[in-house]
Structure 1
Amino acid sequence: MNSITNDTAVTGSPAAPAPHVTRTPLWRNPQYRAWFTADTASGVGLAMKGFAISLIAFSLTHSLPAAGWLATASVIAAQVADVFGGTLVDRHHRKRLIILNAVCGTVLWGVVFVLLATGLLTFPVFAVIIVTASTINGLFGGATNAMLRSIIPTADYPKAQSLNQGRDSVIGLAGSPLGGMLYAFGAWAPFAAASLMYAVAGVSAGMLRVDEHVRDAIGRNGERGNANATTDATVSARGSFVDDFVAGWRWTLRRRTLMAICTIAALLNFGINGIFAAVQLQMVGSGVDSVRIGFVSTAVGTGLLVGAVIAARVCDRMEVGTGLVVMSLVALATMVPMLVSHAYPVILVSSLLCGLPIPTINSLVMGFVFAKVPTDMQGRVDSFTNLLGMLPTMFCSAIAGSLLPTIGFRMTVTLFLLALAANVAIVLAMPTLRTIPSADRWDEAEL
C-alpha cells in the first residue's frame, strides 16, 4: 500500500489542517441508525434461513454429502460473485444496491416459504434458489459495509465494529435457536421470517440520506483528485469495469501485510468453520433435534457477546499484532477438546470459548484495513480479501460431509485442527504481523 500518513489522505478532504470538530456519537447519527437497522435485519434474515438450509437439504435427499455440497455450492457462488461485486459496489450507488439485494432476498426466500408450505419444494428447485440467492448476495451484499465509510469518520470505526460484533453475537445467540424452534413449528417458518427481515432491511436502507458523490473526488486508484471537479468529469475519467476490476486486484496484491492477513484469515476460517460444519452435519446425521443443534450457535454467540464487551474496552489501545497472536493460540486451544470427545457438553463449551477472542481481533484487523484503504476502493478490496480469506472455507461443508461417513468425526476434526496449528506457526514466524501497532499508531504502519 502507498503510505497513508493521515486521515485526510484517506478521505479525500483538503490537506490543510482542519479545525477541531466534535464528533456526533454513533447512536445520535440518524444515518448510522438507519444503516445499523438495515444491516441488522439482513443479519437476522441470514441467521433464520442459514440454519435451516442443511436440514431442508438432508430432509429432501437423506444424504449428508448432498447437504454438505449444497452448502459448499452456495458459498462458492457467493464468493465468486463477490469478486465482481466489489467493483460493482465501487462504481454504483451503494444505497440502491442495498435495496436491490433486500428485494431479491424478500422474493427468493418468500418463494421457498410458499413451496415448502404447499409441499411442492424439490431438491433441484431448492438448490437453484439457494445458489441464485447466494450469487445475488455476493454481487450486492458488500454495499452495506462499503457504505459505512460514507456515514461515519474513520476514528469511529473500531467502536462501530465492536458494536457490530455485539449485534452479531446477539443474532448468534437468538438466531439459530429461534430458527430451530421455527423449523420445529414448520419447515417453512424460518424462510418466511427471512423474507420478512429482508423486507425490513430494504425499507431501512430507503431511509438513508447519504451523498455518495463524495467518492467521486477520489481517483480510481485511491488517490485524491480535485475535490471541486464535477461528477460528470470524474465519471468520464473512470475506466471501464475491467480497468477498475484489474486496478483493485493490482492494488490489493501489492500490499504485503494485507496478503499476510489474508493468509492467516484463510487458515483460521478453514479450521474453525470446518470443525463447526463437521459438528452440525454429525448432529444432523445422528438425528439430533433442531433445537439442540441450534444451541451450538447459541454457545458461539454467547462467547461472541462476551468477547464484544471485551473488544469495546480494549480495541482502541490493544496492538493488532498482539491480538493476532492471542486469537491464533486461543482458537487452537479451544478446539482441541473436540478431538478427544464429541459429546454435546464438550461441543457447547468449546463453541463458547472459541467465540471469546473473535470480536477483538475482528475489530482490530478490520479497523486497521478500513483505515488504510481509500474510500473508493472499499468495495473492491473488501471483496478481494474476502475471496482470499474464504477460499479454502468454501469447501468446508463438502469436505466435512464427505469425510464423516468414511473416516469419522475425530479424524475429520483433526484435519481442520492442522490448519489452525499451521496458522499459529505462521503468525509466530512473521514479525510483519506481530508488530502491527494499536489504532493510535496506524499511520506509522504499512498495509
Structure 2
Amino acid sequence: MHSEAQPAARTPLWRNAQYRRWFAADTAAAMGMAMKSFAISLVAFSLTQSLALSGWLGTATMIASQGAGIFGGTVVDRHDRRTLIIINALCGMALWGLAFALLALNLLNFAAFAVITVVASTINGLLQGATNAMLRSIIPTEQYPKAQSLNQGRDSVISLAGSPLGGVLYTFAPWLPFAVSSLMYALSGASATRLADTGNGDHGDNGEPPAAHGSFLADFAAGWRWTLRRRTLLTLTAIASLVNLGINGIFATVNLHLVGTHVDAVRIGLVEMAMGAGTLLGALIAAKVADRMPLGTGMVVVSTVALATLAPMLFSDGYAVVLVCALLVSVPIPVVNSLIMGFVFAKVPSDMQGRAGSALGLLCMLPALFCSAIAGSLLPLVGFGATIGLFLAVLAVNVAIVLAKPTVRSLPAADRWDEVTL
C-alpha cells in the first residue's frame, strides 16, 4: 500500500490509481458545491421575498465557512484524512438531500433553510482541507504543480457550466439543483472510500507511525506558531493577499457599478464567464509550464499583469473594456496558484499541511472579504474611476514590493525547491 501511496516521480498522474480516485472524489464534491450554490439565493428569495434576508444568508454562510476553516486545519492534521473526506461528503449528501426533500414536499421555510445552509457551510469549512492535505500521501512533490493546474482547469469548467446548468435545473424544479448536489456528494464519498488509508499524512513520506498529538488547542497554536515564523511563506502570503484585494476589489466595484446602472443580469453574468474563460486558458498554460517556471518569475508576472490589464478601467467603464480586462487578468492566475500551492505542498511538513494551509488561506483572503463593503461605500461618494483607482493603487504597491524583494524574484522552479529556506 505504501508503494501505491508514494508513486515514483516518473509515473504519470493518470496512471496513478490513487490519484484518479482522489480526483474523482474532489471533482464530484466541486460539482455538488456548484449546483447548490447557484440555487441558494434564489430559494432564499422565493421563501422570503426579501433581498436583504437573502443577502444576509449569503454573508452568514461565508462567515460560517471561514470561521470553521480557522480550526479546520488542526482537525485535518489530527485525524485520518480519508475519513474526513468521507464524512464531509456524507454530510453534504444528507443536508442538501434534506433541503431537496423539504422543498419538493413544500415543507421548507426560511428558518430551516438557513440552518441547513449554515450548518453545511460550517462542516465544509471545517473538513474541506482534508482533500488537498491528502495529496501529500498520493503524489510526489514534483507532480503537484501539474496536479494543481489540472484542478484549476476542472474548476474553471465547472464555474463556466455551473450557473447555466443550475439555472436549467432550477427552471424545471427549484428542488432539482439540491437533488443533483446530494447525488454528487454521494459519488464523492463513494470515490473516497476507495482511497488508501494514509492516516493524517505523518507517515506518508517515510512509513513511520504518526507522532503523538497534544491537545487540540496546543496543536492549533503550534500550527500558527510554525506558520508565522516562516518569513518566505509570509512574504508570499502578503503578496497574494494584496493581489486578491486589488483584483477582487476591482470586480466588486464593476459588479456594483453594473447593477447600479441597471445593466441586465445576463450581461453582468458574462463578466464572470469572461473571467472563467481566462482562468481555463491559464490552467491549460499552467499544465505545460508550472513544473518548469521559477516561482519568483510567476510572482513578478501575476503582479505586473494584474496592474497592466486592469489599468484601462481607470479611464473607461465601457462594457467591452470590462470584458477584455476580466479575460486577460485571469490568465496568469492559475499558473501562479499552481506554483504557490505546489511550493507550500513541497515545503510544509506532512503533519502540518492542514494547519499551515488553513492559516495561509485565511491570511491570503482576509483583506478580500471586505472588498464589497469598500466598493459599495466608495462608489456613491467618489464614483467608478476613483474607486477603481484605489484598488489599482493596492496592485501598484504590490508590484513595488515584488520588484524590491530579491528573495522573492529569485525563488526557483519546482526541481530546486528543496534548496529554499522558509
Category of TM-score, reference length = shorter chain = 0.7 to 0.9
The alignment's TM-score, normalised by the length of structure 2, stands at 0.87
Q: Which residue of 2 aligns with 1:135?
A: 122
> Counterpart amino acid of 1:349?
V
Counterpart-to-counterpart distance in 1, 2:52 and 2:38? 17
- Report the Cα distance in structure 1 between the residues aligned to 2:60 and 2:174, rounded to whole angstroms: 21
Give the 5 Å matches for 1:70-149: 70-117=57-104, 123-149=110-136
Give the stretch that moved more between structures: 401-410 or 184-193: 401-410
Q: Give the superposition deviation at 1:290.
A: 5.3
- Structure 2 SS opposite 1:149: helix
1:270 correspondence with 2:257: no
Matches within 5 A, 1:117-196: 117=104, 123-196=110-183
Q: Are the equivalent residues in 1 in contact too, given 2:9–2:140 (CA < 8 A)? A: no
Deviation readout 1:327-348 (Å, 9 max, x if unpaired): 0111122233444444443333
Amino acid at match of 2:82: K
| Aligned twin of 2:287 | 312
What's the offset of the Cα at 1:206?
1.6
Question: Is the contact between residue 136 and residue 350 of structure 2 (CA under 8 Å) also seen in structure 1?
Answer: yes
Which of 321, 324, 332 in structure 2 is aligned with 1:346?
321
Q: 1:191 to 1:330 in 2, by over 3 A?
A: farther
Change in CA separation of 1:282 and 1:199 when aligned onto 2, cut-off 3 Å: farther
Work out which of the residue numbers 411, 418, 422 in structure 2 matches 1:436: 411
Counterparts of residues 360-439 of structure 1 (less than 5 Å): 360-400=335-375, 409-439=384-414
Report the TM-score when normalising by structure 1.
0.83
Distance in 1, Cα, partners of 2:392 & 2:27 = 32
Give the unaligned 5+ runs of structure 1. Answer: 1-12, 14-19, 219-223
Deviation at 1:52, TM superposition (A): 4.0
Q: 1:121 to 1:271 in 2, by over 3 A?
A: farther
Question: 3-state SS of the aligned residue for 1:387?
Answer: helix
Deviations 1:310-360, CA, capped at 9 Å, x for gaps: 112221221111111110111122233444444443333222112100111
Aligned to 1:209: 196
SS in 1 for 2:137: coil
User: Residues of 1 paired with 2:175 and 2:249: CA distance?
Assistant: 27
Name the SS for the 2:202 alignment partner.
helix
Q: 1:343 to 1:103 in 2, by over 3 A?
A: farther
Identity of aligned residues (%): 64
Report Cα offsets for 1:278-303 as digits up to 9, x if no partner: 44455566666655444333222211
**Higher mean C-alpha displacement, 299-308 vs 181-190:** 181-190
Cα separation, partners in 2 of 1:191 and 1:351, compared to 1, 3 Å: farther
Q: Is the 8 A contact 1:158 1:315 kept in 2?
A: yes
2:285 partner amino acid: I
Structure 2 counterpart SS, 1:170: helix
Q: 1:345 is aligned with what amino acid?
A: A
Distance in 2 (CA, whole Å) between partners of 1:70 and 1:250 is 34
Q: Once the two structures are superposed, what CA deviation does each residue of 1:83-106 show, in whole Å capped at 9, x if it has no partner?
A: 111011011011111111112222
1:390, 1:332 → 2: CA distance?
A: 19
CA contact (8 A) 2:271 2:322 kept: yes
Distance in structure 1 (CA, Å) of the matches to 2:56 and 2:29? 24
Paired residues for 1:233-248 under 5 Å: 237-248=212-223
Aligned counterparts of 1:417 and 1:66: Cα–Cα separation in 2: 32
8 Å CA contact retained: 2:311, 2:392 = yes
The answer to whether the 8 Å contact 1:69/1:401 transfers is no
Pairwise CA RMSD: 3.0
Aligned match of 2:305 in 324, 327, 330?
330
Shift of 1:381: 0.5
Given that 2:274 and 2:323 are in contact with CA atoms closer than 8 Å, whether structure 1 keeps it comes out as yes
Question: Kindly tell me: are residues 278 and 179 of structure 1, through their superposed partners in 2, closer, same or farther at Cα, counting changes over 3 Å?
Answer: farther
2:38 aligned with 1:51: yes
TM-aligned CA distance change 1:339 to 1:64, over 3 Å? farther
Structure 1 residue 45 displacement after superposition: 2.1
What displacement does 1:173 show? Answer: 2.2
Report what 1:17 is aligned to: none
1:261 pairs with 2:223: no
2:82 and 2:198 in contact (8 A); partners too: no
Map of 1:297 onto structure 2: 272
Aligned partner of 2:3 in structure 1 is none
- Superposed displacement of residue 424, structure 1: 1.9
Q: Distance in 2 between matches of 1:286 and 1:31?
A: 50
Distance 1:66 1:428, change over 3 A: farther
Match status 1:358 vs 2:358? no
How far is the alpha carbon of 1:409 from its aligned partner?
4.9
Using the TM superposition, give the Cα deviation of residue 260 of structure 1 relative to its aligned residue in structure 2, in angstroms. Answer: 0.9
> Quick one: distance in 2 between partners of 1:286 and 1:192?
36
Q: Contact between 2:201 and 2:351, CA under 8 Å: does it hold in 1?
A: no
- 8 Å CA contact retained: 2:99, 2:178: yes
Return closer, same or farther for 1:86/1:313 CA change in 2, 3 Å cut-off.
Answer: same
1:129 alignment partner AA: I
Kept in 1, the 8 Å contact 2:8–2:140? The answer is no
CA-to-partner distance for each residue in 1:146-192, whole Å, 9 max, x for gaps?
00111111121112112112212222222233234434555444333
After superposition, give the CA deviation of every residue in 1:368-405 in whole Å (9 maximum; x if it has no partner).
11111111111110011011111112233444455556
Counterpart check, 1:199 vs 2:186: yes
- The aligned length equals 417
Instruction: Give per-residue Cα distances to partners, 1:128-151, cap 9 Å, x unaligned.
Output: 433322211111000000001111
Q: Which amino acid aligns with 1:374?
A: P
Distance 1:411 1:365 in 2: 32
